[in-house]
């Protein structure tokens, strides 16, 4: 059997394993949610079940020694949350066109991002370099880092980002609502930018030679255009919440948490690694905006 065939088989096994894991985790979360439905508010109910599903995925990542099993959770669970609140809202206020549009947007974002992860994942033996780094440098503490920093923390950040969807799905929204229109514009542009950035990066990785640095297309205007698209998407979701109920202004904690996560954790860690791998990266940093797409500096 060829190496390509082995890799393909490994990928398929990994994807099937991950799919079964998520089906099981979501199933347990739904069961717990059903049992606690009468005792918790909608937000707290989702938070509790979200944490339970995350812990199940965490336990699987320990068993398989691969924290990348958690990676698609980021893009998959918002779809599940959105569908649940959409159904809950439909039972309360009926099916609204605005709510259908918001659900489609969340689905487009989540499915595309999940697909982007799937095509880059090589299977159960392939773990993201960031997890491998922690596993190697902090072997005795890795279980704690894995549970809290690599899985529960992102789950909480995504939960915060999803909070505006509760009022958006359970309250009527007029199609000409200015906040709704802003939300539509931001999320659609964000999905487009993130998709384009990921496609350019994927195409580059398929043909790049040793030492080459991606600095064309969107990557010539921003060092992290995919992250810019991701952050922007969650700001758009926030405006959907405002369109439904301005008293949910405090849900701004969601997009703010996203900004902090990427600007304080993800981007600095990525930049540090890229500077080590590419001698020309420091020059690239001087010429190109870190996050917001902008004209090259001379």
What does the block give as tokens for 231? 């952050």
- With a cut of 80, say whether residue 3 has pLDDT above it: no
> Which of 219, 196, 224 is closest to 208 using CA atoms?
219
pLDDT at 208: 67
Give the contacts of 33 (CB within 8 A, at least 6 positions apart).
45, 46, 48, 49
Nearest Cα neighbor of 245 from 142, 166, 137 is: 166
pLDDT tens, 88-124?
999 988 889 999 999 999 999 999 999 999 998 888 9
Give me the residue label for tokens 């199940």.
Answer: 56
Q: In the structure, what pLDDT confidence band is assigned to residue 290 with cuts at 50, 70 and 90? A: very high
Q: Which residues contact 43 (CB under 8 A, 6 or more apart)?
A: 163, 166
Percentage of the chain lying above the pLDDT 90 cut = 85
User: Residue 151: what pLDDT?
Assistant: 97
Sign of CA dihedral 145, 278, 233, 106: negative
Q: What contacts 197, CB < 8 A, 6 or more positions away? A: 217, 218, 219, 225, 226, 228, 229
- Which among 24, 87, 17 has a CA at the least distance from the CA of 54? 24
- Outline where the chain has alpha helix (H): 3-36, 42-63, 73-93, 97-120, 129-137, 142-144, 153-162, 165-170, 178-207, 225-244, 253-260, 267-277, 281-287
Give the three-state DSSP class for 150.
helix
Largest Cα–Cα distance in the chain?
61
Is the distance from CB of 213 to CB of 277 less than 8 angstroms? no
Computed over every residue of the chain, the mean pLDDT equals 94
Spatial CA neighbour of 222 closest among 292, 147, 150: 292
Give the model confidence (pLDDT) of 140-149 as tens digits: 999 999 999 9
Can you give the pLDDT at residue 6? 65
Better pLDDT: 164 or 213: 164
pLDDT value of position 78: 98
């Amino acid at each position: 059997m060829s190496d390509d065939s082995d890799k393909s088989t490994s990928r398929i096994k990994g994807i099937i394993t991950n799919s079964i894991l998520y089906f099981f985790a979501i199933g347990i979360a739904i069961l717990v949610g059903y049992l606690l439905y009468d005792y918790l508010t909608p937000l707290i109910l989702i938070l509790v079940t979200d944490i339970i599903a995350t812990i199940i995925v965490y336990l699987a990542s320990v068993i398989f020694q691969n924290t990348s099993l958690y990676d698609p959770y980021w893009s998959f669970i918002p779809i599940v949350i959105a569908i649940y609140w959409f159904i809950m809202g439909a039972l309360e206020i009926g099916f609204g066109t605005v709510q259908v549009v918001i659900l489609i947007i969340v689905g487009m974002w989540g499915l595309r991002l999940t697909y982007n992860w799937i095509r880059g994942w090589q299977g159960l033996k392939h773990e993201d370099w960031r997890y491998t780094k922690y596993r190697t440098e902090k072997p005795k503490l890795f279980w704690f880092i894995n549970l809290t920093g690599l899985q529960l923390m992102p789950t909480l950040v995504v939960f915060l980002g999803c909070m505006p969807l509760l009022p958006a799905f359970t309250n009527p929204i007029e199609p000409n609502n200015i906040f709704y229109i802003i939300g539509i514009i931001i999320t659609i542009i964000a999905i487009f930018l993130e998709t384009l950035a990921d496609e350019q990066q994927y195409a580059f990785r398929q043909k790049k030679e040793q030492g080459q640095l991606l600095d064309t297309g969107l990557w010539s205007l921003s060092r992290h255009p995919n992250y810019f698209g991701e952050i922007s998407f969650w700001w758009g979701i926030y405006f959907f919440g405002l369109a439904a109920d301005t008293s949910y202004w405090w849900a701004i904690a969601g997009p703010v948490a996203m900004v902090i996560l990427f600007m304080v954790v993800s981007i600095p860690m990525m930049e540090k690694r890229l500077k080590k791998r590419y001698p020309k990266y420091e020059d690239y940093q001087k010429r190109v905006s870190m996050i917001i797409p902008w004209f090259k500096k001379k």
